[in-house]
Structure 1
Amino acid sequence: MLNFDAVIFDMDGVITKTAQVHSLAWKRMFDEYLYFRLKQYNEPFHEFTHANDYLPYVDGRPRYKGVETFLRSRGIDIPFGDPKDESKKETVCGLGNRKNEFFNKVLEEDGVEVYESTIILIKDLLKTSIKVGVATSSKNCVVILEKASITDLFETRVDGVVSAELGLHGKPEPDIFTTACDNLGVTYDRSIIVEDAVSGVQAGAKGKFGLVIGVAREDNAIELMINGADVVVEDLSELSIDEINKLIFSKQETR
């Protein structure tokens, strides 16, 4: 007997190999903007880095929240603006839209790769009648899933577009995961969250889900464990359905 009814997967870095594309797009946008501030305001230029900036301030967050959080870390205060702002406008939304232009350009040129081990696990879950959903901060979710030809694997999708429509809070709040579970008609304590970002496992822990699995793509296993993951793997090929079932059963027994 299985001790869970659904698994909700994050997308970038868990299902698709798009996390690095996001990171590079963020770096290009922020480095350009920080260099602009050097010329315009004579501020010291310190480049945007993956380890010190992307992972703690941007990874896993909704786009505009990522812009705000990073700028705050640098003591930079600019108007929020409007989501319709042009990408050249010096607002939070303008910068976020510029990042998205860079991201979509790479996506169009290079396409989308998936983690085959994740796809295998998803198909195995579906064969056992476990419900599967995708929950992500990305507003590019539909395009990415279509390019990867995996849209039909997910019974529900809660992404950045849906979050904006429903007024959901972004990670580290659990809203996108709880909404996905509600859409599937499953209880949170019998649902599993799979995440690769610190803000994502924080959301999983905050939502009191049955199990939070961290995928350490960034050599960040310790950070994921500290921030809410019940178990951390480097790749989902390390876990079978039986092993996942035992893990959630053990957690249920300790409650």
Structure 2
Amino acid sequence: MRVNAIQAVPATDIRALLLDLDGVVTPTAEVHRRAWAALFSNELRARGASPDYSDDDYFTYIDGKPRHDGVRDLLASRGIALHDGLPTDAPDAETVWGLGNRKNDEFARILAEEGVTPYPGSIALIDAAEAAGIAMAIVTSSRNGKRVLEAAGLADRFPVVVDGVRAAQLQLPGKPSPATYLRAAEELGVPAADCAVVEDAISGVAVGADGDFGLIIGVDRGVGEHALRRAGAHVVVSDLAELVEHVQTGALRWKQPNDRGEEATS
């Protein structure tokens, strides 16, 4: 367990959890990775671009970002520039939005055929937080946020959901800007300093530092503990079940370090 930075000492109490969805609550990050791989393996090969697409590309250029930003950044890494186009572009359009919509069609196909089951450890934490009176919100760049919550049977567990669709309606920039997380905290009525950001993506973890949130929890689903800590995670776990005892005992709190990079330890 890697939660030694959480202290049961006088400090800022965490009153709300702001959870990313894909890779944190549900294993849909794997579905996203498969959909992105299907898109870019074909697209890069068709354009004669190298190197071939890999999982490293997903973590470096795509993970946690709004879909069109991921498309643009991955293509730029291969020296390819496309017109942005419009969000309404057809999936066969050779534009940034067209490719993003093509990927989304593949994601929706996999989700419809295979469904999604939440991580048991994440459900255990959600149950414990609810019992402890800790508020919760989902914050995700995905425009499929509500669809995924419904497929996972979690649509009624979160009073606040700020997903890609809602962010666009509110004209909020995506990660690594903290705007969507700050909006979720505002809607819960909890100051950012009393909120914990729970993220598996480097760009998402960076949100916590930029938004001055009280606690930044990194969930290592493959990006690596050191990468999450470098991005600003105070705590890194491999499964959210590791935090259940801290919630149940009222010890989910963070004693701020004296200067950046020095953690409090038990």
Q: TM-score, normalised by structure 2?
A: 0.89
Counterparts of 1:45 and 1:220, CA distance in 2 = 25
| 1:133 counterpart = 2:141 | no
- Give yes or no for contact 1:189–1:209 (8 Å, CA) kept in 2: yes
Secondary structure of the residue that 1:240 maps to in structure 2?
helix
| 1:166 counterpart = 2:176 | no
| 1:50 counterpart = 2:60 | no
1:142-175 CA-to-partner distances (Å, cap 9, x unmatched) read 1110011111111100000001101111111111
The offset of 1:251, in angstroms, is: 2.2
- Give yes or no for contact 2:17–2:197 (8 Å, CA) kept in 1: yes
User: Which consecutive residues of structure 1, in runs of 5 or more, have no partner in the other structure?
Assistant: 39-43
User: What residue number does 2:5 align with?
Assistant: none
The offset of 1:205, in angstroms, is: 1.2
- Give yes or no for contact 2:22–2:28 (8 Å, CA) kept in 1: yes
Counterparts of 2:227 and 2:212, CA distance in 1 = 19
Q: How many residues align?
A: 249
Q: Which runs of 4+ in 1 moved over 3 A?
A: 243-247, 252-255
User: What residue number does 1:17 align with?
Assistant: 27
User: Which consecutive residues of structure 2, in runs of 5 or more, have no partner in the other structure?
Assistant: 1-9, 261-266
Q: Looking at both structures, which has the greater relative contact order when contacts are Cα pairs under 8 Å and sequence separation is at least 6?
A: 2
User: What residue number does 2:184 align with?
Assistant: 180
Mark the CA change 1:241 to 1:8 in structure 2 (over 3 Å): closer, same or farther. farther
1:9-30 CA-to-partner distances (Å, cap 9, x unmatched) read 0000000010011011001101
User: What residue number does 1:33 align with?
Assistant: 43
Identify the structure with the greater helix proportion. Answer: 1
Mark the CA change 1:57 to 1:164 in structure 2 (over 3 Å): closer, same or farther. same
Counterparts of 2:209 and 2:158, CA distance in 1 = 23
Q: Percent identity?
A: 42
Counterparts of 1:242 and 1:223, CA distance in 2 = 24
1:181-210 CA-to-partner distances (Å, cap 9, x unmatched) read 011011000000100000000111111100
- Give yes or no for contact 1:123–1:153 (8 Å, CA) kept in 2: no
Counterparts of 1:206 and 1:187, CA distance in 2 = 14
Counterparts of 2:223 and 2:76, CA distance in 1 = 26
